[in-house]
């Protein structure tokens, strides 16, 4: 029975009720040990006596409100509890949660199903990327919750192994359209990343504490008040201490003892009162929860105490007949004491503090011996960690077993757990070189597990211990460079990576220098890469550097690299192909390569690099005029980047979102997102993202017709140096700069921008690149023919609409309204569909001025659908099933169906075929 917790239970119930109605969510219960978090979870899911909550919203003097049993209807409940002895075992908690629902795995998309099966050990092989695993957990919970909903309860989250925690939290952050409620209980300040709703569980209100003490122990109000003050109203402390007081102390006839009985541990006296066999069994259970192992190990340890160690052979349980009697008897005593209970085949302590008391009552040598015996009785990961617990000093044999456990965890997607195992292995490794390698590998695992702070700390330890081994020092330097590139100072990344001579390290250095916008460094590094044997990566890296340097061989290398595009299989390779196409001045081909990178990354597993890939996918969508898709991709990438701690990628997505806000004419959003991006990118010297954020502000001025302000901003962008701007941004935005210069009457500025654009596009061969060049010439030279040529060449509908608007405006002002109207109408319809409201308004005004009073309504598909709905609609139009779409977007199939259920009535249709007919024209 609960006292005084009506507000906390009500908060949990709201989350559950919303989930039952199809609006899933997660909540964290946070409080100190003994605050009653487990009892609150029981009450929230309507289990046992804790389903009754007394003292609801009552203040002293008011009538008691009767307790109520919460009816959960048919909602399914999955429950797990973090167990400290299993906190280093990859996916131990996930096993607890998902074991009852693995029969629903067949409903998942294949990549997600394979990832979950591998993580749970149901299939051989690797689980793939942790994002795929997290999406699989989300999908499985959604399936398990059909049709009436699901409550997933995870108690003692501070002890949940990291691999399970990562997967569960990934799902918890994405429950909006699922019938799933996730309830986490955690002690103190232990982090529960990304779950914004927290319910604090403080001490009891004074009236509730008095009611509990009076009901359970007969403590009158006066004595209850003093006891409440001394215990800070902690329910566990109140209950345990009151039970140990004498009748006279409880009633206030004698003063309370000082100090209070039980002390900080509360359970020390009860542990000390156990018989020796029960204390021994409790110690084993404090190290290993599995009942069979606990009994077997206790038998062996008990026999050792009577027969002496070493009097048995491996695998034999000595004194078995005695153990058969002693083990169950000791277990029964432990249960009768109230300190522990059996749940299935596991021993659970009544409270985590019981385990602490058991540990404190034993000596370090006793704990090590328990681990040693358990190591003899177990295998795999359990054996490795028990050996580590038994180790006294460094031991290569134990370290090697931990490395093997880390490799198993890593193969299943448990990077956080692998990092912990490798770090402990390094501590146990006597050889300096091997110890450094293991620290390095632990840093990589921590990084891939989304823990950049831990990764950097481990790598710093590795660097300090690298000694004189030049090869190992370079590997560490490359990792430091990658870490800086993702989350630190990118100019420092260039310095670190440029120290290497391998092609892979030179490629990383070129990537970093490209982010900074340091053309000189890219040229120098590309020339060094040219000395390596021919191949796709070498041709791309060397070709970029040589082309920037004006070397005639550069474009040929880039063309040769792009000719191998059909052989590429990895997302990173497609991104290099996109960079090669971009250097040739062919944005349409670059966009296509980036789009392919995104498709590959989503299904192949990028071990944490997906947020970075999505930077380029979102940019490609925006440059191709797919504004809603770009918005959705950047919103997804922003969330993933924040989860992974990729700070510079956060800036990239914010900058792209700022550009999209500019195109919609949303001044407040544009300014806010651009400022947030600049706050990261400027101190980190990420010139590319500084340039894009600055471009967003310039584009906003251009969209709103503020040509002078736009011209000033574009001029500043063109003049910014490395780290504060970027040549690619200058080149890509040259058509906008030409338009702003023409708008202000700066003819010389327009020609300067045009000439720079021509130099950048000198090797371009695609129609869209020639179309943009023709538009710039048409603006600078006031040539209608050049604008018409651009319209003929355009393959990008959005850019074609911009050209049509410019040509229509010119024709209308030249008193040729009949010719102008067709161009203006096309531009208006395209801008309306894309949501580019400022340009749509400009085209509409020009149409009216050209004499068109009745304007046909453009298709409302893009207006009616959210960015996420539009992405799903587009994939439906491509012929993908709900499972395939779920795999692409890291959703559950049920979420995809939910969105389709919302899409159909919005558009007045009833089938995928009709949806495809509506959407395909929008994307052409």
CATH of the domain at 884: 1.10.10.10
179 and 148 part of one domain: yes
Provide the residue count of the chain.
924
Give CA–CA dist 687/720, Å, rounded.
9
Residue 668 lies in a domain: no
Position 71 scores a pLDDT of 45
Least confident of 76-85, 251-260, 492-501, 694-703: 251-260
Position 469 scores a pLDDT of 86
154 and 45 part of one domain: yes
Question: In the chain, pLDDT over 90 holds for what percent of residues?
Answer: 65
Show the tokens assigned to 361.
Answer: 């009552």
Residue 392 lies in a domain: yes
Rg for the chain, CA atoms, rounded = 33
Terminal-residue alpha carbon distance, the chain: 64
Closest to 235 in 3D by CA, of 206, 200, 272: 206
Query: What value does the mean pLDDT take over residues 900-920?
Result: 85
Give CA–CA dist 495/488, Å, rounded.
13
Give CA–CA dist 271/281, Å, rounded.
11
Query: What value does the mean pLDDT take over residues 475-481?
Result: 94
Q: How confident is the model at residue 860 (pLDDT cuts 50, 70, 90)?
A: low
Query: What value does the mean pLDDT take over residues 512-518?
Result: 95
Residue 133, classed as helix, strand or coil, is helix
pLDDT in tens, 174-221: 999 999 999 999 998 888 988 989 999 999 999 999 999 999 999 998
Give CA–CA dist 696/674, Å, rounded.
7
Query: What value does the mean pLDDT take over residues 644-661?
Result: 95
135 and 217 part of one domain: no
Phi/psi of residue 223, each to 5°? Answer: -65, -35
pLDDT above 60 (res 607) = no
Least confident of 65-69, 612-616, 641-645: 65-69
Residue 603 lies in a domain: no
Considering its fold, how many domains does the chain have in total? 5
Q: For residue 586, give every residue at least 6 positions away whose Cβ sits within 8 Å of its Cβ, in sequence order, or none.
A: 764, 765, 766, 768, 769
102 and 247 part of one domain: no
Residue 791 lies in a domain: no
Domain of residue 871 covers 861-923
Q: How confident is the model at residue 842 (pLDDT cuts 50, 70, 90)?
A: very high
Least confident of 319-323, 532-536, 741-745: 319-323
Q: Produce one character per residue of 830-846: b if its CB has 16 or more CB atoms within 10 Å, e if not.
A: bbbbbbbebbbbbbbeb
In contact, 256 and 263? CB cutoff 8 Å: no
In contact, 590 and 764? CB cutoff 8 Å: no
462 and 524 part of one domain: no
Q: How confident is the model at residue 440 (pLDDT cuts 50, 70, 90)?
A: very high
In contact, 734 and 756? CB cutoff 8 Å: yes
Domain final residue pick, 542, 563, 584: 563
Domain final residue pick, 423, 457, 474: 474
Position 316 scores a pLDDT of 45
Show the tokens assigned to 647.
Answer: 């700070």
Give CA–CA dist 171/181, Å, rounded.
11
Query: What value does the mean pLDDT take over residues 528-549?
Result: 96
Position 309 scores a pLDDT of 56
Give CA–CA dist 140/145, Å, rounded.
9
Position 60 scores a pLDDT of 38
In contact, 728 and 578? CB cutoff 8 Å: no
In contact, 834 and 800? CB cutoff 8 Å: no
Show the tokens assigned to 617.
Answer: 């996918």
Residue 423 lies in a domain: yes
Least confident of 276-290, 737-751, 870-884: 870-884
Position 920 scores a pLDDT of 62
In 462-560, the DSSP E strands lie at none
Residue 646 lies in a domain: no
In contact, 717 and 691? CB cutoff 8 Å: yes
Closest to 692 in 3D by CA, of 740, 651, 722, 664: 651
Closest to 155 in 3D by CA, of 36, 19, 72: 36
242 and 330 part of one domain: no
Q: Which residue has the higher pLDDT, 114 or 68?
A: 114
Give the DSSP H or E segment for 151. strand 150-155
Least confident of 52-61, 432-441, 611-620, 750-759: 52-61
451 and 513 part of one domain: no
Between helices 882-889 and 893-907, what is the axis angle to 10°?
110
Closest to 865 in 3D by CA, of 891, 839, 898, 899: 899
In angstroms, the Cα distances linking 743 to 71, 607, 714, 794, 798 are: 67, 47, 13, 23, 20
Residue 534 lies in a domain: yes
Query: What value does the mean pLDDT take over residues 30-58?
Result: 72
189 and 179 part of one domain: yes
Closest to 842 in 3D by CA, of 743, 919, 746: 743
Task: Look up the CATH number of the domain holding residue 106.
Answer: 3.40.50.300
Residue 25 lies in a domain: yes
469 and 438 part of one domain: yes
Query: What value does the mean pLDDT take over residues 404-427?
Result: 93
Position 858 scores a pLDDT of 52
Query: What value does the mean pLDDT take over residues 43-59?
Result: 55
143 and 289 part of one domain: no
319 and 468 part of one domain: yes
228 and 190 part of one domain: no
Give the DSSP H or E segment for 272. helix 268-272
Between helices 291-307 and 276-287, what is the axis angle to 10°?
130
Phi-psi region of 56 (alpha: psi -120 to 50; beta: other; left: phi over 0): beta
Position 318 scores a pLDDT of 44
Q: For residue 44, give every residue at least 6 positions away whose Cβ sits within 8 Å of its Cβ, in sequence order, or none.
A: 9, 12, 13, 16, 70, 151, 183
pLDDT in tens, 83-96: 988 999 999 999 99
Give CA–CA dist 491/484, Å, rounded.
9
Question: In the chain, pLDDT over 70 holds for what percent of residues?
Answer: 92
Give CA–CA dist 17/29, Å, rounded.
17
In contact, 130 and 878? CB cutoff 8 Å: no
Phi/psi of residue 310, each to 5°? Answer: 85, 10
pLDDT above 50 (res 13) = yes
pLDDT in tens, 339-353: 999 988 889 998 878
Q: How confident is the model at residue 666 (pLDDT cuts 50, 70, 90)?
A: very high
In contact, 743 and 710? CB cutoff 8 Å: yes
- Signed CA dihedral, 725, 728, 734, 736: sign only: negative
Relative to beta strand 150-155, strand 180-187 is parallel
Question: What value does the mean pLDDT of the chain take?
Answer: 88
Closest to 305 in 3D by CA, of 323, 282, 293, 324: 323
Residue 26, classed as helix, strand or coil, is strand
Position 59 scores a pLDDT of 35
Position 716 scores a pLDDT of 95
Domain final residue pick, 474, 499, 520: 474
């Amino acid at each position: 029975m609960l006292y005084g917790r009506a507000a906390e239970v009500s908060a949990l119930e709201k989350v559950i009720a919303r989930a039952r109605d199809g609006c899933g969510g997660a909540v964290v219960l946070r409080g100190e040990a003994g605050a009653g978090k487990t009892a609150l979870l029981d009450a929230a899911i309507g289990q046992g006596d804790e389903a009754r909550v007394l003292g609801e919203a009552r203040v002293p003097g008011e009538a008691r409100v009767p307790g109520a049993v919460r009816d959960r209807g048919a909602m399914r409940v999955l429950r797990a509890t973090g167990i400290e002895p299993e906190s280093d075992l990859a996916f131990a908690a996930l096993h607890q949660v998902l074991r009852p629902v693995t029969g629903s795995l067949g409903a998942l998309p294949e990549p997600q199903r394979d990832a979950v099966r591998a993580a749970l050990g149901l299939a051989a092989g690797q689980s793939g990327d942790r994002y795929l695993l997290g999406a699989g957990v989300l999908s499985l919970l959604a399936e398990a919750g059909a049709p009436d909903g699901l409550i997933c309860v995870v108690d003692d989250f501070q002890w949940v192994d990291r691999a399970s925690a990562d997967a569960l939290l990934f799902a918890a952050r994405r429950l909006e359209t699922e019938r799933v409620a996730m309830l986490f209980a955690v002690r103190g300040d232990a982090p529960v990343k990304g779950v914004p709703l927290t319910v604090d569980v403080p001490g009891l209100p004074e009236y509730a504490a008095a009611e509990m003490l009076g009901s359970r122990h007969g403590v009158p109000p006066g004595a209850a008040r003093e006891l409440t003050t001394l215990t800070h109203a902690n329910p566990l402390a109140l209950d345990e201490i009151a039970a140990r007081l004498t009748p006279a102390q409880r009633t206030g006839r004698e003063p309370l003892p000082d100090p209070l009985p039980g002390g900080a541990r509360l359970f020390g006296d009860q542990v000390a009162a156990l018989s020796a066999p029960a204390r021994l069994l409790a110690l084993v259970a404090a190290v290993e929860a599995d009942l069979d192992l606990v009994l077997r190990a206790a038998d062996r340890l008990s026999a050792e105490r009577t027969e002496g160690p070493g009097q048995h052979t491996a695998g034999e349980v000595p004194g078995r007949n005695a153990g058969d009697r002693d083990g169950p008897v000791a277990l029964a005593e432990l249960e009768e004491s109230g300190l522990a209970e059996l749940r299935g085949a596991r021993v659970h302590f009544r409270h985590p503090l019981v385990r602490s008391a058991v540990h404190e009552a034993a000596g370090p040598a006793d704990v090590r011996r328990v681990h040693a015996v358990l190591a003899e009785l177990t295998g795999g990961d359990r054996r490795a960690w028990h050996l580590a617990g038994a180790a006294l000093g460094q031991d290569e044999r134990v370290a090697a077993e931990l490395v093997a456990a880390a490799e198993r965890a890593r193969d299943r997607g448990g990077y956080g757990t692998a990092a912990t195992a490798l770090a402990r292995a390094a501590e146990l490794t006597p050889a300096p070189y091997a110890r450094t390698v293991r620290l390095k590998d632990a840093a990589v695992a921590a990084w891939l597990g989304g823990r950049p702070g831990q990764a950097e700390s481990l790598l710093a330890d590795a660097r300090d211990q690298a000694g004189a081994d030049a090869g190992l020092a370079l590997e560490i330097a490359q990792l430091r460079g990658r870490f800086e590139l993702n989350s630190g100072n990118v100019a420092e990344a260039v310095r670190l990576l440029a120290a290497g001579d391998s092609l892979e390290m030179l490629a990383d250095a070129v990537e970093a220098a490209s982010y900074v916008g340091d053309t000189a460094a890219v040229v120098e590094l590309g020339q060094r890469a040219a000395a390596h044997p021919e191949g796709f990566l070498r041709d791309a890296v060397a070709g970029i550097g040589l082309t920037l340097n004006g070397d005639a061989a550069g474009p040929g290398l880039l063309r040769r690299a792009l000719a191998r595009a059909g052989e590429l299989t990895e997302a990173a390779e497609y991104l290099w192909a996109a960079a090669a196409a971009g250097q040739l001045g062919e944005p349409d081909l670059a966009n296509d390569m980036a789009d392919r990178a995104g498709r590959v990354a989503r299904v192949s597993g990028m071990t944490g690099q997906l947020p970075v890939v999505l930077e380029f996918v979102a940019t490609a969508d925006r440059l191709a005029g797919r504004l809603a898709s770009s918005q959705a991709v950047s919103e997804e990438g922003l969330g993933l980047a924040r989860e992974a701690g990729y700070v510079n990628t956060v800036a990239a997505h914010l900058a792209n979102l700022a550009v999209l806000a500019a195109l919609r004419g949303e001044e407040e959003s544009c300014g806010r997102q651009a400022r947030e991006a600049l706050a990261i990118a400027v101190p980190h010297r990420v010139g590319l993202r500084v340039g894009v954020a600055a471009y967003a502000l310039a584009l906003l001025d251009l969209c709103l017709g503020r040509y002078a302000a736009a011209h000033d901003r574009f001029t500043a962008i063109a003049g910014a140096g490395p780290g504060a701007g970027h040549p690619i941004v200058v080149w890509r935005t040259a058509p906008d700069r030409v338009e702003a210069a023409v708008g202000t009457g700066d003819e010389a500025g327009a020609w300067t921008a045009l000439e720079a654009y021509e130099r950048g596009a000198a090797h371009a061969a695609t129609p869209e690149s020639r179309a943009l060049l023709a538009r710039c010439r048409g603006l600078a030279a006031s040539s209608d023919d050049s604008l018409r040529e651009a319209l003929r060449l355009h393959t990008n509908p959005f850019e074609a609409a911009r050209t049509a608007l410019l040509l229509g405006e010119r024709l209308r002002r030249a008193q040729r309204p009949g010719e102008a109207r067709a161009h203006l109408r096309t531009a208006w319809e395209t801008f309306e569909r894309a949501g580019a409201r400022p340009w749509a308004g400009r085209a509409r005004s020009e149409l009216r001025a050209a004499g068109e009073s009745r304007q046909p309504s453009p298709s409302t598909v893009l207006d009616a659908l959210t960015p996420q709905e539009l992405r799903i609609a587009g994939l439906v139009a491509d012929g993908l099933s709900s499972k395939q779409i779920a795999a692409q977007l890291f959703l559950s199939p049920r979420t995809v169906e939910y969105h389709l259920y919302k899409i159909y009535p919005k558009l007045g249709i009833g089938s995928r075929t009709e949806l495809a007919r509506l959407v395909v024209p929008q994307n052409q």
